[in-house]
Structure 1
Amino acid sequence: MRTAVAVCAAWAALVGGGTAWADDGGPARALRLGVRTALAPGVGYQEFSLPASHGPARGHLLTVDLREPRVSLDLLYPGAVAARAPVSRLADGRGAVGAVNGDFFNITEAQHPGVEPTGAPVGPAVAGGRPLKAAVPDGQRFGPAMPPGVTAEEVLAVGADRRARLDRLTLEGVVLTGRGALRLRGFNQYALPVGGVGAFTSRWGAASRVRATCGTDTDRAAPCSTRTYEVTVRRGRVVAAAAKPGGGPVAAGSVVLVGREAGARELRRLRVGDRVRVTERLRSAGRTPPRFAVGGFPVLRHDVPLDGLDTRTSAVRTSAGAGDGGRRLYLLALDGAAEYRSGLTVGELAAVMREVGADDAVNLDGGGSSTLVTRAAGDTRARVRNHPSGGAERPVPNGIGVFTRP
């Protein structure tokens, strides 16, 4: 673990808008780490505090040694993409020894009267090696502005090699019909690209699919499209069609195709009984597909903070990072108690993740979503370690779970 002697000097550079790191001064030991408590072999918990640009900050840190063969990671989610539950409940349901909240999500729809928010996350998600969803268009994101060159496809992932890494997961899919092939532009996501066709499976859940046709690629608040069409495919044949997207669960073995604008026009050419085959996959920018992945935008890459990080807006935040060649994972959530609610800027968050040992790190959902829980040996329920800034846990669509086996 790195020493913290340069943290305050780094703060000055970051708050000033740069990304330089200083190692030659500044108040020593700005980052104060508490006593580490072992939760399980390879898994430790500790608190920390530090002075930040907007006031004192306090946080909670899980350190996970992926070299320990009994330790593993996976995505926590409530059984459907478009559903939410508190982190503690998600952890209890899987028996996780530790967890933090995950991706930003579709939390409000004030701009679209009559349209309910889906609660679905922004970025790609992979659980147990199974792709659950792809990323929405960048302009349809919820959350703070991303650094230049970053997209909603960014994830923190762990592959079969048990190494944590930054990755980018791009949807590759096709709808094969007797009249030709259509490019698949969405997969279990709350927003489709303009003119696109998206697929919804039983993993989506019961939320309405209307939201997928609202907004544009650059404006989340733009009106919902009036040119839409929906087709239900079961056992490789079209069994139903509708002029507007519907809601309710998608039956296992079925796929609902939703199109907008040009995509709707293509779907209207299909007839009940037509043969249709839908394929989709998330292509990794890395060498191996992930066994686990959660959406979040990078703030630290190869031990260097990204250019363009926000150094002005301070908030309660959650982060996940990898160090030691991906063999060590750091899960961090800030405390939202009143005396610490000023939190950190994104630039300061990158500095903290670097100081605790991460070489790569992502910013996850924050504010009222920031939650870190632990479960000691013998306990049946997880304990919330931080104070959620809303006064109670906010239901979230997913999280990162830490597991250990005897």
Structure 2
Amino acid sequence: MLAGAALTGAAPADAAPAGRRIAPGVTYRQFDVGTAAGKAHAHLLTVDLGDPHVRVDLLHPGAVAARDTVSRLANSAGAVAGVNGDFFDITETQHPGVEATGAPVGPAVADGHALKAAVPKGQRFGPALPPGTNTQEVFGVGTDRRARLDRLALTGSVGTPQGSFPLRGLNQYALPQNSVGAFTAKWGGASRKRAVCGTDTERAAPCSSDTREVKVKGGRVVSVSDGPGSGSIPADTTVLVGREDGARELRALSVGDPVSVTHSLVAATSGVPYTFAIGGFPVLRGGKPLSGLDHATSAVRTVLGFKDGGRWLLILALDGAPAYRTGMTVAEEADTMRTLGASDAFNLDGGGSTELVTRDEGAGAVTVRNHPSGGAERPVPNGVGVFSTG
């Protein structure tokens, strides 16, 4: 038995063909999918975003650099259903003495507020991205209650007595070379040392030795140091971390200097603000699979999709039980979502992270519906939560 949740056995292929209601506007069903590697078993949530009782938001443990199981995240938030989210900084074996932060790769928006920006493309964890995509890709739901695919780029600046310069990081585990990034209370208490390791093209490259950290409270510098620190950040404090050219910019600052920091996530295509957004990568756009999708590597996968102009949300997670553990390829994932009627689809973290939970009507806690391939729930940094007031 898993802590905080229960596992259910895989249902027959014809179980609940039309789905059963979890809450008003939310249904759940299971079915088998034939793949080149064998039979996969899928768990599907269908969510009516046009239902005024339904909303979707980010599940997260209260800090960007923290992890918890999907069942605990869903229970603590009061969600009726949920699934795991973005790829994340899961291991740092290439950087001795540096701990993995557990922070996700891509942008994240929760309840309309930006939590973090994307790491450089070369610093990501996960399978190869489809050609033409990058780490800024998101699946989001706007204030118009419609789902869409987009990119969210960080825009911001640091104003100092010597002038202003661009801010190129926000609560992310890896900063671009020659840049300055900001860490806020939303980051949590994890060490910020990982932020200066690797390069824009090589995740395993050594950590930079040319670094600087500046703490700003109430609009003024309160401390400076030669390397990134750790520990929780007060709500009225911003920590600036610089590497290479960015470190040299920060060395011009002294305690007492006035500093202003601005930052926001800007959408590439949508003029509608996002209430929720999560990172990953697109696999289906406008009814067509993206070119260059992997046709060779089968795995347990998690994928989001939408249809009817973004009104209907599809959340699919494969089962990781031994009989189905071969899963499907990314290309098969795109084809499966198109068969289900999705016009657009978006790949999330998979393998041992894949997990889908639902809470039966009247139940006090969620149930894990698929079998995690690792045999137990894996703590993850974020996920997608489905909420209902019905």
**TM-score tier after normalising by the smaller chain length:** over 0.9
Change (3 A) 1:319 1:229: same
SS in 2 for 1:203: helix
Structure 2 length-normalised TM: 0.95
Structure 2 residue runs of 5 or longer lacking an equivalent are 1-12
**Residues 42 and 65 in structure 1, CA contact (< 8 A), matched pair in contact too:** yes
Change (3 A) 1:336 1:246: same
| 2:375 corresponding residue in structure 1 | 391
Using the TM superposition, give the Cα deviation of residue 186 of structure 1 relative to its aligned residue in structure 2, in angstroms: 0.2
| 1:306 corresponding residue in structure 2 | 290
| 1:12 corresponding residue in structure 2 | none
SS in 2 for 1:352: helix
| 1:27 corresponding residue in structure 2 | none
1:374 pairs, out of 350, 353, 358, with 358
2:191 pairs, out of 195, 208, 233, with 208
| 2:111 paired with 1:133 | no
| 2:114 paired with 1:150 | no
SS in 2 for 1:62: strand
| 1:171 corresponding residue in structure 2 | 154
Partner amino acid, structure 2, of 1:224: C
| 1:38 corresponding residue in structure 2 | 21
Q: Aligned partners of 2:29, 2:339: CA distance in 1, in Å? A: 14
Partner amino acid, structure 2, of 1:343: G
| 2:163 corresponding residue in structure 1 | 180
Q: Aligned partners of 1:33, 1:276: CA distance in 2, in Å? A: 59
2:237 pairs, out of 254, 274, 280, with 254
| 2:279 corresponding residue in structure 1 | 295
**Residues 15 and 29 in structure 2, CA contact (< 8 A), matched pair in contact too:** no
1:195 pairs, out of 145, 166, 178, with 178
| 2:83 paired with 1:100 | yes
2:349 pairs, out of 365, 387, 404, with 365
TM-superposition CA deviations, 1:288-323 (whole Å, max 9, x none): 221100001000000100000000000000001111
| 2:103 corresponding residue in structure 1 | 120
| 2:59 paired with 1:76 | yes
Q: Aligned partners of 1:195, 1:68: CA distance in 2, in Å? A: 47
Q: Aligned partners of 2:243, 2:263: CA distance in 1, in Å? A: 19
Q: Aligned partners of 1:138, 1:323: CA distance in 2, in Å? A: 29
Q: Aligned partners of 2:258, 2:266: CA distance in 1, in Å? A: 26
Q: Aligned partners of 1:91, 1:356: CA distance in 2, in Å? A: 25
Q: Aligned partners of 2:17, 2:210: CA distance in 1, in Å? A: 57
Q: Aligned partners of 2:373, 2:246: CA distance in 1, in Å? A: 42
Using the TM superposition, give the Cα deviation of residue 50 of structure 1 relative to its aligned residue in structure 2, in angstroms: 1.6
Q: Aligned partners of 1:59, 1:243: CA distance in 2, in Å? A: 50
SS in 1 for 2:304: strand
SS in 1 for 2:282: strand
**Residues 32 and 49 in structure 1, CA contact (< 8 A), matched pair in contact too:** no
Percent of residue pairs identical: 63
Using the TM superposition, give the Cα deviation of residue 59 of structure 1 relative to its aligned residue in structure 2, in angstroms: 1.1
TM-superposition CA deviations, 1:84-137 (whole Å, max 9, x none): 000000000011111000000000001001100000000000000000000000
Q: Aligned partners of 1:244, 1:34: CA distance in 2, in Å? A: 57
Change (3 A) 1:375 1:58: same
- RMSD of the alignment, in Å? 1.1
Q: Aligned partners of 2:88, 2:256: CA distance in 1, in Å? A: 36
TM-superposition CA deviations, 1:19-45 (whole Å, max 9, x none): xxxxxxxxxxx9997341101111000
TM-superposition CA deviations, 1:232-287 (whole Å, max 9, x none): 00000000011010001011110000000000011000000000000000001211
Using the TM superposition, give the Cα deviation of residue 55 of structure 1 relative to its aligned residue in structure 2, in angstroms: 1.3
Partner amino acid, structure 2, of 1:401: G
SS in 2 for 1:126: strand
2:319 pairs, out of 325, 328, 335, with 335
| 2:8 corresponding residue in structure 1 | none
1:316 pairs, out of 300, 306, 310, with 300
Count of matched residue pairs: 377
Partner amino acid, structure 2, of 1:197: V
| 2:220 corresponding residue in structure 1 | 237
Q: Aligned partners of 2:326, 2:388: CA distance in 1, in Å? A: 34
SS in 2 for 1:156: strand
Structure 1 length-normalised TM: 0.92
SS in 1 for 2:186: coil
| 2:385 corresponding residue in structure 1 | 401
**Residues 33 and 49 in structure 1, CA contact (< 8 A), matched pair in contact too:** no
**Residues 185 and 198 in structure 1, CA contact (< 8 A), matched pair in contact too:** yes
Q: Aligned partners of 1:365, 1:140: CA distance in 2, in Å? A: 16
Using the TM superposition, give the Cα deviation of residue 51 of structure 1 relative to its aligned residue in structure 2, in angstroms: 1.5
